[in-house]
Amino acid sequence: MRRRTFLGAAGAAAVTLAVSGAALAQEAVKIGLILPMTGPFASTGRQIEAAAKLYMQQQGDTVGGKKIQLIVKDDTGVADVTKRLAQELIVNDKIAVMAGFGLTPLALAPAPLATQAKVPAVVMAAATATITEASPFIVRTSFTLPQATVPMAEWASQNGIKKVVTLVSDYGPGIDAEKAFTGAFTAKGGQVENLRVPLANPDFSPFLQKVADAKPDALFVFVPSGIGAQFMKQFVERGLDKSGVKLIGPGDVTDDDILNGMGDVALGAITTQHYSASHDSPENKAFVEAFKKANPGMRPNFMAVGGYDGMHLIYEGLKKTNGQGGQALIDAMKGMSWTSPRGPVSIDPQTRDIIQNIYVRKVERKDGELYNVEFATIPNVKDPVKAAKAN
């Protein structure tokens, strides 16, 4: 009898513990942030993690009365790992939303899981145009390569450039950049030759030799964030910095994280993109200052702003849904607009891509540092690939 009573009491205590554990778990809204924190694309992971943490530090970790818990996972830049981590975060941690996704293959791998589990996935980095079509639960706060690139073709054709060689990393975003540039530039009467370099361990020198032989007015380059310094080193080794060939492209090659280390060779490069650390606005000044203070020795690049805005989108979405994830959260994110450090932005409700200004920039030395200094603005640019499909 006594024994049974004892067991009963212990059982009741265990049940109470289990219930309060479940209640606690329900109260915390979990965000799974999957990023390449190690490997060749670790700069993207570092930038996004730093920006996401800064956002939480500034805005607090409670939204709509619910505690927010950020769970950061390193996929090492391998798509199978991204997929496994997404599965574990959905099944074991019961995340409300996943985010991050440092490269196109890493964003595509978990897309079927987002659809099956109805878990929104906020793409903060990857930029191949088609990514948002892989799941109705994907929303993007980075950019698309065609969005950043078409304005480059227009600038080149208006500025006396007639013959261009394109050199791109041979995968989704590089091919998007090549096609967008070639299509828009040849439509204006320009002449283009296309070269593609492998994504993994790229050796640019044989391609740069071809560029030196072809003597174009400009070399258009796309390499993913973090790789620009390697490219620039070989550009100098091949003597292309003294050849009069102008360096142009979307802004990934002169990414703010590594631009300062490139030295004077980068001066004068013209790029088109959505973010520069030198963007002149009160929101950006505050963002850059806070980012530098929280991360000594680092300067935010376009990946950081994708992470910062991605967190903003998640927070504002959760405010609208009172902490609910799923369909309600993705619906709440559609059409959202705000002032980002990059300028005014909104989420296109049809495509779940970001609509934003694209700036034309030139690398200049300012206060002893190299910056992409913006000198022209193309306002409210949509992804042109999806815009063309919709017409």
Kindly list the residues in this chain that would bind ligand DHB in the complex (CB under 6 A). 44, 103-104, 125-128, 172-173, 224-225, 252
Nearest one of 304, 229, 323, 387 to 30, comparing CA atoms: 323
Closest separation in Å from C-beta 272 to ligand DHB: 13
Task: Compare residues 128 and 351 and give the one whose CB is closer to ligand DHB.
Answer: 128
Which residue has tokens 């985010």?
99
The conformational region for residue 26 under phi > 0 = left, psi -120 to 50 = alpha, else beta, is: alpha
Q: How far is CA 322 from CA 89, 97, 318, 337, in A?
A: 21, 14, 6, 19
Nearest one of 131, 140, 137 to 104, comparing CA atoms: 131
Task: Compare residues 180 and 332 and give the one whose CB is closer to ligand DHB.
Answer: 180
Q: Alpha-carbon distance 88 to 86, whole Å? A: 6
Closest separation in Å from C-beta 145 to ligand DHB: 7
Closest separation in Å from C-beta 322 to ligand DHB: 33
Task: Compare residues 145 and 288 and give the one whose CB is closer to ligand DHB.
Answer: 145
Task: Compare residues 157 and 351 and give the one whose CB is closer to ligand DHB.
Answer: 351
Closest separation in Å from C-beta 51 to ligand DHB: 15
Residues 304, 48: contact at Cβ < 8 Å?
yes
Nearest one of 117, 110, 81, 60 to 329, comparing CA atoms: 117
Closest separation in Å from C-beta 18 to ligand DHB: 43
Burial (CB < 10 A; 0-12, 13-18, 19+), residue 189, is: exposed
The DSSP element (H or E) to which 252 belongs, if any, is none
Closest separation in Å from C-beta 173 to ligand DHB: 4
Q: Alpha-carbon distance 310 to 328, whole Å? A: 17
Task: Compare residues 223 and 332 and give the one whose CB is closer to ligand DHB.
Answer: 223
Task: Compare residues 103 and 111 and give the one whose CB is closer to ligand DHB.
Answer: 103
Strand pairing partners for 338? 345
Closest separation in Å from C-beta 108 to ligand DHB: 9
Q: Alpha-carbon distance 357 to 184, whole Å? A: 18
Task: Compare residues 130 and 324 and give the one whose CB is closer to ligand DHB.
Answer: 130
What is residue 333's three-state secondary structure?
helix
Indicate the residue whose CB is closest to ligand DHB.
224
